[in-house]
Structure 1
Amino acid sequence: MAKILFSKPKLTLWGFFVTVAVIVGHSSTTQAQSPFSQAIQVPPSTGNFPVEDSQGYTLGPGDLLQLDIFNVPEYSGNNGQHQVGIDGSVNLPLIGNLVVKGLTLDQVTAIVQQRYGEYLQRPLLTVQLLAARPLQIAVTGEVQRPGSYMLSASTDAPWRVSTNNSLMATPEVQKMGGRLPTITRVLQMAGGITASADVRQVKIRRSLGNGGEKILNLDLWELVQTGDLRQDITLRDGDTIYIPTATEHNALESSQLVTANFASNNNQPINVAVVGAVNRPGTHTLRAEPIPQVSPEPGQLTEGVVSTASGGILTVTQALKVAGGITSQADIRNIQVRRLTRTGTEQHIQVDLWKLLQEGDVTQDAMLQQGDTIIVPTATTAETEENAEVAAASFSPDTLKISIVGEVVSPGAKSVAPNTSLNQALVEAGGFNESRANKKEVELIRLHPNGTVSRRPIPINLSAQVNEETNPKLRNNDVIVVGRSGGASFRDGLGTVLNSLSPINNFLGLFRFVNIF
């Protein structure tokens, strides 16, 4: 057992031997050599990444410390657990009150080593952070739920978060085993970033012990692209995270960020407005189908950027589908998505679905978020050769509603597939009424988006291929009128005349009954 003295001895070299074990979250203070360091070349960050915590974690009220002194069991183990009080100090045996607020574990260890050197000969001791105090962290900018969050890092409890000063369990967040939260963890708790976030310019404002503050610049795009864990720093009590608004929309980046673990939860339904050349303009609710996820084993921790999206991605084409599809006069090259950002400004995102159809450019199918407005303009010029391809697209209606009236076997309203031709529609109606129909010509009545109605005669050629003259493709709400043949018109006219003479015929029939006529 170390001998307790009452005079200050000269410190030996052993007295300066200190082992500091900090049970905290991931830290990149020491860059250890890895066998992969030669094989993997990580490109440098385009932004200013922080050299994380050269000063280490600073202690404060609520931190639980573990002091262990070799061969002094009465001051170690359970007897060595000391919580930092509200005044920022701990009460240690022999030493008494020691102010540790604002100090790192290295600094506290050196002070404790020196102070116990006044009482112990060659003291060997360790100071550990047994449990970190609850951290209050603010999140603002382009996140789903900005505000103040209280988090606890404990070996016995999962992270807990609250915006109303009450702690509550969050089952979606794993137990962290006393580790301090990283920025990506806190962004998850804040609902994830919005689609307008600029992840290249993330800022953290951190208070310093001397009353000042410093700004840390992070580039989470580097984290996503290269796995640069220096960008996913651990947070400290009082930190403020700011996610700025992107000045320009980058469709490629957005499509990759949506699967990051700090992105928004796509499983939640959103409300969007769809206006313009669609069949059901107005406000619509979009819901995504769940995507099966592989859950980690109990106690298993995940590092880096892991896809945790619990739902599918909600896009422009899905919204158009819910809105009944586009009309035949829609200008799919100039669709616009309008989005209100956290700063109060409005982003305009241009969408060219013709590129999606022709080139397979999936970035044109822009991802949506709550409150977006989709505007589908009306085409000023009709591109006849493109109509067939657009009509077969997933964002066009599944069926067309047309009407066939007149001399067909089965007149009335019909639902036909997109790109149905006039001849196919006549077949759908059972064909002509052989004894009454005018088989030479029908009339096509079409309602245009501007409210006007056109009607034109179409000569019938049942063997003709699809063409605008004799066998045009139909559009939604078209009406086909099949007139009567000349013979049917004559018979109908004669019948009308005879019907008008029916009283005279009845009178003459009475005289026939009495054999006058």
Structure 2
Amino acid sequence: MKLRRYHHFGSILLLFFSIICNSYQVLGQTISADNLSQVRVDDLSDEQILAYLRQAESMGLSEEEMTQAALQRGMPASEIEKLRTRIATLKASSNTRPQIVSPVQNRPERQMIDTVVAKPTPPDTTVKDTLPVFGASLFQGAPALFEPNLRLATPQDYVLGPGDQILIDIYGKSEENHSLNITPEGMINIPYVGIVQVAGMTIEQATARIRSEMATIYSAIRTGGTKVTVALGNIRSIKVILTGEIVKPGTYTLPSVATVFNALYYSGGPSKNGSFRNVRLIRGGKEIARLDIYDFLISGNFKENVRLEDQDVLMVPPYESKVEVRGEVKRPAIFELKEGETFEDLLAYAGGFTENAYRARIKITKRTATEQRIEDLLSSQYAHYRPQAGDIYMVDRILTRFENRVRIAGAVFRPGDYELSPGLTVSMLIKKAEGLKEDAFLNRGNILRLKDDSQHEQLSFDVAGIVAGTEPDIELKREDVVTISSIFDLREAYTIDIDGEVRSPGRFPYAEGITLQDLIIQAGGFRESASGSRIEISRRVTNADILSQSAHIAEVFQVNADKGLSKEDQDFVLMPFDRVVVRTSTGYETQKTVRIVGEVLYPGLYTINRKDERISDLINR
């Protein structure tokens, strides 16, 4: 146990001193774990000391043992004292914090986080037996931080204000360029021209004013010899307040070209209780616009997406009415409805029915003051039925049954499902299936019919007679299954077996007229040891006398075959289920060897050349 303790002790020291050395390598210094004379405890973080102190305590090692080892490796006594002080301070402060779970207990949840560039944790988008809120996905993935200096295209009606940057480019007979910021008073100071008021003007208006003022200094502007262009550089920032049912409410700094939609996107959009249909923009204490996000989601309409100004308030109130649409619609989700909207409007928000939807009737689960109840909504009511808050609409699938299907299977060229046309009979269905195959069993066919009470009944017919027209035809009904068997389906598969001295013994399919030599060729031919004489062929007996004790139960033939498998020789014709055995040639022997090792002059393998050879004979050899 003592040896094991010191093994753990060495492991902890190695980890502790490795983190010390790694810390110094990050700082551009190289320190060996065996020489800690240059270590400075002040350079170690609290997290590094605490992490490895916990590991040491979990191994049963004391603080004194760790400091003694550091002293042996050359760590200055002053630094060791600092280390003791740091450990004592960290232990004291940890008593006032929530208890830290042991790393051994907490190992499955341990994570390593980059504290320099921490990526935001993605939201949990898993849906557990609930539908998504329609439109919520539009605001997922918003950046964690705002960037006030966004490079956005400047609208033509953009109104200049303090903080905007004006870029003036003069070219032609005179060439100059100026980058000027609009002062808090709304003016710019153009060199050689003077003060020009531009705040409150659009880009077009400001361009005309600047050209007019500069023409008094640059006379060639009037004649066209000098040109002046005015553009907008960096735009100013504004502060906007987002309040109400928003994922991240607060005051945000936005670029001055930002719209209501930009602000909603960066704030994460409406929360689960927020309205997507009634987003209010308040400016100077008055409501100036209302944004319905569904207008954009359904038709791409941005008409109420007005540009924000400094100190605007964006208010998202709670929703008034939400309903669920489940089942066979293209967008199953939770939808928010305005007063006066009908189920037809709701169906449009859900993208309409899928191809498998049952459209004649929809089930509604409604909530009363005390319980739930079920209602049916008919297709004739879609246009004027008004949903109520909390309704759940279930659109079922159409039935998987067929109203006019018949099926044919078996020995026809095109088996499968066919339309049950009026007056369709068995012979007509066979013609639709491109006729009977050559192996069709003509004596009998079957019809599996579904009765009115959903039970099945079996009908039989003469296939040859119906096809020839000598037997009365049978009119088919819905879901009839016509089966015409193959002759191969009604008998045991014909095979023949071969065993013994052939290269590939086994079972082979029988073909009419196959001979013994044909079978030997299929089995890969004779082995070298095979004998062409006395090949035994056994055949099944079908008429044995079951009462006779000496009755033959198999017919056996002894046949000779040319090992060259010549076609000129008379060949034996095989029958189904014959078994062929090819025997080994008389006197055929393979070499047999023994190995001699030890104190002999020539150890190794020796071949036995006589049946009566002895060990002494082999030793003498």
TM-score computed with the length of structure 1 as normaliser? 0.32
